[in-house]
Amino acid sequence: MSTEPLKAAALALRQAITSAGHGLVQRESLVELIALSAVAGEHLLVVGPPGTAKSEAVRRVARALGGKYFEYLLGRFTEPSEIFGPVDLRKLKDGIVETETSGMLPEAEIAFLDEVFLGSTAILNTLLGLLNERTFRRGHTRIEVPLRLCVGATNTLPDDDALAAFSDRFLTRIFLEPLPDPELEDLLAGGWSLLREPPAAPASIADLDLLSRAARTANVEAVRTELAHAIRVLRKNGVTLTDRRAVKVQRLIAAAALLGGRTTPTTADLWPLVYAVPDPDAQTLARDVLREVLAASENSALAAAAAEASLGPLARASRIVSRGKEILATKPPVEDPPGVEAWKLRLEGVAREIDAGFSEKTITDELRNLRAEVVRWVS
Amino acid sequence: MGELRWIDRARVLAPIAACGRGAAADALALKLSSWPADRLAKLSGVSVFAPERAVFVLAQSEDDLPWVDGIQYLGKDPHAPQLLLPTAERPDIHLSLFERAITRVARTPGLIAVLAPPARSIIPLRAALPLSSKKLRDFIEGNS
């Protein structure tokens, strides 16, 4: 396959990712994972409390790709017709049970289902086929759906074993926390700009499809040995990936390579393995035990996600250092005592984040130096 | 049986309490005593004089916690909900077993703060009361 159209599509996706992430504070990884999952043709589960920009991130990526978008908040009493469409009453008179899917999930290219595990058995069974086989079956209706990506959201992972099969359909997982104290000013500024800015559509579903097709035929054999080694390291440390996940993670790796400007994956593209680990504590452990394996991780289009996957506590330290330096650089003049007081409070937030987040053994030198400077101003 | 080992947490806890011991306890009490009443109202606390002077402060939200050089932060792990544990370290033992052992030793209901080495303290927090500037000044002056 000629690489020029691929490069153009990858560049368009990169611009779409940047555009979608603008104004969303500390959610770059989420936006990047949405794009990665879409190119890989795998679904994404976002776990986090309400108000952590889950639906906004998906909406913005959908708008940036110009795709047909469907979004719904599921509840225990949600009827299947609210998701899939009502029964066609004209055909019902002839004894044919067909669903009118216009504008509903079966016609969506990108979908967001909030509180996805609250759906009834009827909904989840139908969703299972839709997510797995890209086929919608209900009554006499059987259609191939154009769904490229479904993002499911939930406050917490379900305990119920009965939901395990459905939950496993979401290969990629990201766990979100509310923003820490020092980043609240950025959140307020970013959120305000979100309310004002019209969205852009720098890419298209056609770009996405071109990259997806290339991802499916990428030569993953080049990194298979390293990937197998990484999975063995995980298993040795008690992090189990199902065989299904281990096989499918290759799609994420291939997608990461394409978005990073490579037609053939390298060891720089193994980092999505972390996001295929289904549990938050296991993901944190995976970051730590795979630190050496993922040391070469790099991706110019998905920088935040790659950095977070491969560095773990180091990524956290790096973020705090960056944030702390920004705050230190914005000291108000002494003639503005309330401003200085507010500035010191922000610095105290940084100090608290350092002291609460790192022990004597895990604190990095850069963080220790930052702390020393912060303490100089707030003690 | 050897001494219990403490290890770094893979995932740090969100802090909901702070503890100052020794000189840090006085610094913490001094700082809090200068806070306005509405800010103090969001906190409750316990002071301890043995085996060493210490102040424990509890908050509903991390944002309400003070910062003073030398204090430690504590949080709740879902596997040991009755304990307040250091946010960045944990004992190298299943936490539900650890909780059971601690509650048996402490013999008190309610939250129990557990400090890692070198402190190695177990402090019941059942008696935590809303903070006031007067109580904090009394602590600094050595009055219980």
pLDDT at A215: 94
Instruction: Give the mean pLDDT of chain A.
Output: 87
B88 and A348 in contact by Cβ < 8 A? no
> Does the pLDDT of residue A167 top 80, yes or no?
yes
A356 and B15 in contact by Cβ < 8 A? yes
B69 and A375 in contact by Cβ < 8 A? yes
| DSSP letter assigned to residue B77 | E
What's the mean pLDDT in A265-288?
91
Q: Which residue of B has its CA nearest to A353?
A: B15
**Position with higher pLDDT, A224 vs B9:** A224
> Does the pLDDT of residue A61 top 50, yes or no?
yes
**Position with higher pLDDT, A373 vs A90:** A373
pLDDT at A196: 52
**Position with higher pLDDT, A188 vs A280:** A280
CA distances from residue A212 to A31, A184, A243, A267, B144 in whole angstroms, order as listed? 17, 37, 22, 20, 69
pLDDT at A178: 66
| DSSP letter assigned to residue A112 | E
> Does the pLDDT of residue A378 top 80, yes or no?
yes
> Does the pLDDT of residue A315 top 70, yes or no?
no
CA distances from residue B24 to A118, A350, A379 in whole angstroms, order as listed? 48, 19, 12
Of the given ranges (A300-304, B16-20, B56-60), which has the lowest mean pLDDT? A300-304
Chain A residue numbers touching B12 (CB-CB < 8 A)? 356-358
> Does the pLDDT of residue A299 top 90, yes or no?
no
What's the mean pLDDT in A89-104?
88
Percent above pLDDT 90 for chain B: 49
> Does the pLDDT of residue A31 top 80, yes or no?
yes
pLDDT at A139: 83
Residue A366 makes CB contacts below 8 A (sequence gap 6+) with: A317, A318, A321
Select the residue of B63, B69, B89 nearest A181 (Cβ to Cβ): B63
Looking up tokens 């009834």, which residue turns up? A120
Reading the block at residue B112, the tokens are 């129990």
pLDDT at A192: 59
Contact A364/B at CB under 8 A? no
Q: Which residue of B has its CA nearest to A280?
A: B11
Select the residue of A288, A351, A356 nearest B12 (Cβ to Cβ): A356
* pLDDT tens per residue across span A321-377: 888 998 999 999 999 999 999 999 999 999 999 999 999 888 989 999 999 999 999
Q: Could you tell me whether strands A69-73 and B6-8 are parallel, antiparallel, or unpaired per DSSP bridges?
A: unpaired
What is d(CA A59, CA A78) in angstroms, rounded to the nearest whole number?
22
Q: Which residue of B has its CA nearest to A284?
A: B10
> Does the pLDDT of residue B12 top 90, yes or no?
no
What is d(CA A229, CA A273) in angstroms, rounded to the nearest whole number?
12
What's the mean pLDDT in B41-65?
89
**Position with higher pLDDT, A200 vs B27:** B27
pLDDT at B114: 93
Percent above pLDDT 90 for chain A: 53
ipTM at complex level: 0.93
> Does the pLDDT of residue B1 top 50, yes or no?
no
Looking up tokens 């719904």, which residue turns up? A72
In chain A, DSSP assigns E strands to 44-47, 69-73, 110-114, 135-138, 141-144, 149-154, 172-175
| Chain pair A-B, CB pairs under 8 angstroms | 49
pLDDT at B85: 96
What's the mean pLDDT in A42-63?
86
**A237: distance to nearest CA of chain B, Å?**
12
pTM of the full structure = 0.66
Chain B residue numbers touching A359 (CB-CB < 8 A)? 8, 86, 88-89
Closest CA relative to residue A254, chosen from A4, A10, A2, A8: A10
Looking up tokens 């050897």, which residue turns up? B2
**B19: distance to nearest CA of chain A, Å?**
11
Reading the block at residue B44, the tokens are 């409750």
Contact A284/B at CB under 8 A? yes
Q: Residues 76..105 of B with a Cβ closer than 8 Å to A: which?
A: 86-89
What's the mean pLDDT in A17-42?
85
Chain A residue numbers touching B87 (CB-CB < 8 A)? 356-357
pLDDT at A234: 94
* pLDDT tens per residue across span A191-232: 655 555 555 568 899 999 999 999 999 999 989 999 999 999
Label residue A33 by pLDDT band (50, 70, 90). very high
pLDDT at A312: 58
